[in-house]
Amino acid sequence: AHGRTDNDSNTDVLDVLIVGGGFSGLYSLDRLRDAGFTAKVWDAAGDFGGIWWWNCYPGARTDSTGQVYQFEHKELWRDFDWRELYPNWEGVREYFQYIDSQLDLRKDVVFSTFASEAAWDEDSRTWTVRSSDGKEQQARQVIVATGFGAKPLYPNLEGLDTFAGESYHTARWPQGGVDMTGKKVVVMGTGSSGVQVVQEAGHVAEHVTVLQRTPNLALPMQQRKLTHDDNEEFRKDLPERFVTRNNAFAGFDFDFMPINAVDLSKEERDAIYEKMWQEGGFPMWLGTFQDILSDDEANRTFYDFWRNKVHERIADPVKAEIVAPKEWPHPYGIKRPSLEQDYYDVINQDNVDVIDSKKNPIKKVVPEGVIMEDGTFLECDLLVLATGFDANSGGILGIDITGVDGQKLRDKWAGGVDTFMGLSTNGFPNMMFLYGPQSPSGFCNGPTSAERQGHIVVEFLEHLQRKGVTRFENSVESEKSWRSHVDELFMDSMFPRAKSWYWGANVPGKVPQMLNYTGGVPLYFTTWDEHKENGYDVYDVK
Ligand code: N01
């Protein structure tokens, strides 16, 4: 009925080509098809799973509960049981297979297809997108939904290519898995990926060395297995949780408490921290006292509480001081904390060492292992690079995008990203980004953003179609003012005080610029609604 093309055909002009088949891409595909658009998804991954297809390293799991890490869309949550409170990558992939079975997505998704180029043609008002393996597709609109972490960041290490053992980036882990049993493992990086790998490696490897440049101020996950009855129980109040999720600052089913930490006594505060600690999860980060992420004194109260908790679990005071130092590495919560299950107990084990690689960095890699600056030699069979991503913009710029008058997006953004609300950029008509740079992505639960942003984008495209518009482009002014707004919020916050991927500070040479909107999900969407009420007048249409 929609005049859809089948998977193999690339001769027809599609209404919309979506690049990226994670939560955002698939939600939009379903909505667009329902609205009568012809649409297809290209995804570089071998199958469903989005970022969880690539990140299949041991222990990879979400830091959101399954209940909130799923679609509200079409009540798909009614029949899916999560096996764990915080699902691992296999659990998330199972969920993707489930939504495919319900929404019949696969026929419009082309896997193992990396979009390497996209070029705008003014005469026909279409994009031509090409893949690295020679496919070509024309589309009137392109949605780039590559996610925040499509481009892994590799460290620049002397001798890495001479290493004789196995070495993998966590985001390019072999699909068949890697057995760490009995091996000497070195893990570089202690972000969420590093913490999760270390936990698993500690249990099976002969020896693990953790190279920590910045401590992860990790919070307890309080993981548990879920039965069908547990799932039934959760489903009872899920509709209310979705309402909260759509209105909370970070798109979760909880929000900051309208209380200041500094207004309470230490005893009152610690009692609340203790209760939250036992419950576990991100409420201790994005659902805690409202002044924690804005006031040093408030922030320090939690850091000290956290530090004591960690020290209780680590016998060796030297180790404990490396992972939870007296002097805070940065205010708590301005780098993303990880959720841990037994990370600090694993650090406490005799077969696990932790090295402060800020004081003592890697000097070079040799065939047998790693040599540190102070001469320490780490014999190694498996070197894990848990070094993160060229986040937010890296995935988009991984595509060679050419807009109006031959302008390259890479050149346009060489001095920093300019977007209108993270959704589009001038000079690149008929192109929208989902979970893009300068949107709330880093501070918004993924599926919430997929649905809410997906909704406004599909609604916008429907509006344009009704009006007979064949070309749209946001104004230069609109993106300049959005960039200033994002930058101002950032400069007034604590975030500049830690080098994080939120503002590109983890990538050598990247323009230091906030790429994650910190105004919160509610303000973001009311801002868009105002533009909608004004007839989307920041867009020039033809
Ligand atoms: O990457 P990261 P990640 N020399 O950038 C270190 C999501 N995620 O893959 O902190 C030495 O956080 C770097 O050190 P430093 C989540 O949003 C979610 O772990 O820059 N060290 C850091 O320790 C997360 O925030 C989940 O000083 C180097 C680490 O490598 C985001 O993805 C799971 C280095 C990189 O940490 C990224 O997490 C996994 C160098 N040259 C990821 N370069 C869950 O939901 C980097 N490092 C659970």
Torsion of CA 46, 50, 54, 55, to 10 degrees: -150
Of all residues in the chain, the percent with pLDDT exceeding 90 is 98
Q: State the distance between the two ends of the chain, measured CA to CA, in whole angstroms.
A: 28
Angle at 64 between CA 63 and CA 68, to 5 degrees: 170
Angle subtended by helix axes 296-313 and 266-279, to nearest 10: 60
d(CA 48, CA 91): 12
Say what angle helices 446-466 and 521-533 make with each other, to 10 degrees: 0
Q: Residue with structure tokens 């932790």? A: 354
**pTM above the 0.90 mark?**
yes
Cα 420 to Cα 438: distance, rounded to the nearest angstrom: 8
Alpha carbon distance 389, 396 (integer Å): 13
Region 294-301 average pLDDT: 98
Q: What pLDDT was estimated at residue 86?
A: 98
pLDDT at 430 over 90: yes
Give per-residue burial for 291-305: e unless 16+ CB within 10 Å, then b: bbbebeebbbbbbbb
Given ligand 1 and candidates 190, 252, 387, 392, which is best to mutate, with the most ligand atoms within 8 Å of its CB?
387
Which tokens go with 461? 């495209």
Each residue's pLDDT tens digit, 328-369: 999 999 999 999 999 999 999 999 999 999 999 999 999 999
User: Which residue has a Cα nearest atom 1 of ligand 1?
Assistant: 388
| Cα–Cα dist 376/368, whole Å | 13
Q: Which helix (H) or strand (E) holds 379?
A: strand 377-379
For 237-261, the pLDDT digits (tens) are: 999 999 999 999 999 999 999 999 9
d(CA 137, CA 16): 10
- Residue 504 Cα to ligand 1 midpoint, Å, equals 12
Distance CA 166, CA 185 (A): 10
Torsional sign, CA 283, 289, 292, 296: negative
Tokens of 221: 């996950």
Mutate to test the pocket of ligand 1, among 172, 193, 358, 370 (most ligand atoms within 8 A of CB): 193
Dump pLDDT digits (tens) for 152-206: 999 999 999 999 999 999 999 999 999 999 999 999 999 999 999 999 999 999 9
Q: What is the 3-state secondary structure (H, E, C) of 96-108?
A: HHHHHHHHCCHHH
Question: Please, what is the angle between helix 446-466 and helix 238-247, to 10°?
Answer: 70
For 89, left (φ over 0), alpha (ψ -120 to 50), or beta?
Answer: alpha
| Residue 62 alpha carbon, nearest atom of ligand 1 | 45
How would residue 100 be classed by pLDDT, with cut points 50, 70 and 90? very high
Q: Which atom of ligand 1 is nearest to the CA of 442?
A: 17
pLDDT (tens digit, 9 = 90+) per residue, 34-73? Answer: 999 999 999 999 999 999 999 999 999 999 999 999 999 9
Does 8 have pLDDT greater than 70? no
- Report how far residue 232's alpha carbon sits from residue 252's, in angstroms, rounded to the nearest whole number: 20
The rounded Å distance from CA 193 to ligand 1 centre is: 6
Residues lining ligand 1, CB < 6 A?
61-63, 149, 155, 170, 188-194, 213-214, 336, 357, 386-389, 499, 501, 506
Please state the φ and ψ torsions of residue 305, each to the nearest 5 degrees: -60, -50
Which residue in 33, 51, 36 sits closest to 105, CA to CA? 33
Q: Does 6 score more than 70 pLDDT?
A: no
Ligand 1 centre to CA of 506 (Å) is: 9
Of 273, 289, 193, 282, give the one whose Cα is nearest residue 245.
282
Pair 188, 362: CB distance under 8 Å: yes
Å from CA of 439 to ligand 1 middle = 20
The alpha carbon torsion through 129, 130, 136, 139 (nearest 10 deg) reads -10
The per-residue b/e assignment along 375-397, b for 16 or more CB within 10 angstroms, e otherwise, is: eeebebbbbbbbbbbbbbbbbbb
Strand, coil or helix: 208: strand
**Mean pLDDT across the stretch 284-309?**
97
Residue type, 504: G
Question: From ligand 1's centre to the CA of 257, what distance in Å?
Answer: 28
| Contact by Cβ (8 Å): 17, 129 | yes
User: Environment class of residue 476 by beta-carbon count within 10 Å: exposed (0-12), middle (13-18) or buried (19+)?
Assistant: middle
- Beta bridge partners, 243, equal none
Distance CA 499, CA 357 (A): 15
Q: Which atom of ligand 1 is nearest to the CA of 55?
A: 39
pLDDT level of residue 30 (50, 70, 90 thresholds): very high
Of 215, 216, 198, which Cα lies nearest the Cα of 207?
198
Q: Whose CA is nearest to atom 10 of ligand 1?
A: 214
Cα separation of 522 and 538, whole Å?
20
**Residue of 154, 213, 286 to test ligand 1 pocket, by largest number of atoms within 8 Å of CB:** 213
Report the pLDDT value the prediction gives residue 11, as an integer from 0 to 100: 60
pLDDT confidence of residue 3: 39
Q: Whose CA is nearest to atom 44 of ligand 1?
A: 62
Question: What was the pLDDT predicted at 321?
Answer: 98
Q: Which of 221, 312, 295 is nearest to 261 (CA)?
A: 295
Q: What is the pLDDT of residue 10?
A: 53
